[in-house]
Amino acid sequence: MNIEEVKKQFELDIAETLKTGKFDDLFLKYFSKAHGITTKLLKELPKLTEAKKRELGPVLNKLQIDQKAKIEQGKIDYKKRKQNETSTDLTIPEKPAKSGMLHPTTQTIREMYEFFRYHGFSIAEGPEIETAEYNFRKLNLPEGHPATDLQDTLFLREPDLMLRTHTSSIESRLLTENKPPIRVVIPGRVYRNETPSKTNSSFFYQFQGVVVDEGISIRNLKYTLEMFHKFLFGDDIILRFRYKYYPEVSPGMGVDMKCRFCEGAGCDVCKQRGWVEVLGCGMIHCNTLKMCGIDPNVYTGFAWGMGLDRLVMQKFGISDIRNLYEGGMVYLQ
């Protein structure tokens, strides 16, 4: 067997030995004193001419060094592989058992994010304890306006510190601190002095949206809201837009959704009206833009504030808003 044949045979043998782990047998096959394949080649070296010795001596010496090194490295690799296959690390925590799910409100917010991120909106947050400046004044609500009365607002320190009554307070902060173009949505919890009922609570979630840029019209607002509701509920959703007064917008609109519990026939959830009001919206009032440092002669914009809990109720078939926050496990399993 010549040197090249020995090399090829050794590569085949060590590949097989890496599977079986019989490295001692492999070593004896090539390096035993009596029958080793490589040993026999080395024993033939003294019988060669001086020229052949000088030619083949270094080759045979390198051959045996390489083969022995591969056998030793093979032992190490084989041992590591076996340890990885058989060892159990008791410090590694087991995968947690699947239990429960995200709260319906959280699920809905994340789904809404998908729509608005796709349409180029950023996401913002802000403080739940707010000043009258951002909660009322910059939104065109002067002192003495009914919305600032204690019957609606939970004051921490009258008359200038309160729990925010709407996520519009973050809108006024954004308009004050940023320059157009602005395209942002703001989810968050708000607080009011409300008597709890099936559709009202003293705290609830809103989902605010605000867009300010050149050339924005009420058509952009209506299109955005229609497309969003179709995304969330399906193409069969029915909305109605009606004029409604809000101090921070002009013109303002209330948006109602055809009740999905009674399909418009009238029930306790929609208070026998067949419709559930889900948001207020409109074109941002020029006074609001001015008070926030934006020139209304250059920029226009729209804003909305969705009653997020009512959307969640319609989406998940929850007929009482209080069930969302009483820890009922039926909504978390």
Contact at 8 Å (CB) between 138 and 166?
A: no
Q: Using alpha carbons, list the distances in angstroms from residue 31 to 58, 156, 313.
A: 17, 90, 80
Residue 151: predicted pLDDT: 58
For range 98-108, the mean pLDDT: 81
* 218 vs 206: CA distance, rounded Å: 21
For range 285-303, the mean pLDDT: 93
pTM: 0.63
* 189 vs 208: CA distance, rounded Å: 11
* 216 vs 212: CA distance, rounded Å: 7
pLDDT tens per residue, range 160-216: 898 998 888 999 999 999 999 999 999 999 988 887 777 778 888 999 999 999 999
For range 269-295, the mean pLDDT: 90
* 35 vs 184: CA distance, rounded Å: 82
Q: pLDDT band at 331, cuts 50/70/90?
A: low
Residue 149: predicted pLDDT: 65
3-class secondary structure, 177 = helix
Q: pLDDT band at 218, cuts 50/70/90?
A: very high
Residue 148: predicted pLDDT: 67
Residue 82: predicted pLDDT: 78
Residue 217 scores a pLDDT above 90:
yes
DSSP 141-176: --TT-GGGSTTT--EEETTTEEE-SSTHHHHHHHHH
* 109 vs 104: CA distance, rounded Å: 9
Residue 208: predicted pLDDT: 93
How many C-beta neighbours within 10 Å does residue 46 have? 7
Percentage, residues of the chain above pLDDT 90? 32
Residue 330: predicted pLDDT: 56
Residue 29 scores a pLDDT above 80:
yes
Nearest to 289 by CA among 131, 136, 138: 138
Which domains are present in the chain? Answer: 3-86 (no CATH), 104-331 (3.30.930.10)
